Amino acid sequence: MNSQLKRYLFWFAHEHVDFRLPPYWIVDLPDENIVHQIVSRAISIRFCLELWAQGKQNEDLHNSLKAYSVKNIIGEKRSFKIAVETFCKHFSQREKVDKIESFSYLPLEGPVKLKNPDITLCYIEYYGLDPNSIPEQPYEYFFGRWIADGQRELIKKLSLKTRKFIGNTSMDPQLSLIMANQAQIRKGDLIFDPFVGTGSLLIAASQFGGYTFGTDIDFLMLHGRTRPTRISQKIREKDESIAANMHQYGMSSYYLDVVVADFSYPLWRTDLRIDAIITDPPYGIREATERIGTMKINPVIEEHQATSHIPSKIGYGLNQIYKDLLCFSARHLKLDGRLVCWYPLFRDQYTEEQLPAHPCLELLANSEQVLSNYTSRRLLTYKKIKEPKATDESIIMNLTDFREKYFALREETRKEKRTRKATERARRREEWERSNKEITER
Ligand X SMILES: C[S@@+](CC[C@H](N)C(=O)[O-])C[C@H]1O[C@@H](n2cnc3c(N)ncnc32)[C@H](O)[C@@H]1O
Write out the residues near ligand X by the rule CB under 6 A.
167, 169-171, 195, 197-198, 200-201, 215-218, 221, 262-264, 280, 282, 287, 289-291, 316
Tell the smallest beta-carbon distance from residue 193 to ligand X (Å). Answer: 7
CB 289, min distance to ligand X, A = 6
Q: Which CB sits closer to ligand X, 198 or 398?
A: 198
Least separation, in Å, of the C-beta of 390 and ligand X? 24
Minimal distance, residue 199 CB to ligand X, in Å: 6
Closest CA to 402 of 366, 438, 430, 378: 378
Residue in the shown chain whose Cβ atom is closest to ligand X: 197
Q: Which CB atom, from 35 or from 196, has the smaller least distance to ligand X?
A: 196
Of 49 and 179, nearer to ligand X (C-beta) is 179
In the complex, least distance from residue 73 CB atom to ligand X, rounded to whole angstroms: 45
Kind of pairing, strands 274-279 and 333-346? parallel
Min separation Cβ 346 and ligand X, Å: 18
As measured in angstroms, the least distance from the Cβ of 236 to ligand X is 15
Distance of closest approach, residue 258 Cβ to ligand X, in angstroms: 11
Q: Which is nearer to ligand X, 60 or 262 (CB)?
A: 262
Q: d(Cα 376, Cα 419) in Å, to the nearest integer?
A: 27
Nearest-angstrom CA–CA distance, 410 and 330? 36
Nearer to ligand X, 102 or 168 (CB): 168
Q: Which is nearer to ligand X, 1 or 295 (CB)?
A: 295
Nearest Cα neighbor of 242 from 197, 199, 180 is: 199
Least distance between ligand X and beta carbon 180 (Å): 12
**Closer residue to ligand X in complex, CB, 12/263:** 263
Q: Are 155 and 176 in contact (CB under 8 A)?
A: no
For ligand X, the closer of residues 167 and 337 by Cβ is 167
Nearer to ligand X, 91 or 219 (CB): 219
Residue 67 C-beta: closest distance to ligand X, Å: 52
What SS3 string covers the chain?
CCCCCEEEEEEECCCCHHHCCCCEEEEEECCHHHHHHHHCCCCCEEEEEEEEEEECCHHHHHHHHHHCCCHHHHCCCCCEEEEEEEECCCCCHHHHHHHHHCCCCCCCCCCECCCCCCEEEEEEEECCCCCCCCCCCCCEEEEEEEEEECCCHHHHHCCHHHCCCCCCCCCCHHHHHHHHHHCCCCCCCEEEECCCCCCHHHHHHHHCCCEEEEEECCHHHHCCCCCCCCCCCCCCCCCCCHHHHHHHCCCHHHEEEEEECCCCCCCCCCCCCEEEEEECCCCCCCCCCEEECCCCCCCCCCHHHCCCCCCCEEECCHHHHHHHHHHHHHHHEEEEEEEEEEEEEEHHHCCHHHCCEECCEEEEEEEEEECCCCEEEEEEEEEECCCCCCCCCCECCCCCCHHHHHHHHHHHHHHHHHHHHHHHHHHHHHHHHHHHHHHHHC
Between 215 and 394, name the residue whose CB sits nearer to ligand X.
Answer: 215
For residue 291, the minimal CB distance to ligand X (Å) is 4
Nearer to ligand X, 117 or 167 (CB): 167
C-alpha span between 20 and 410 (Å, rounded): 32
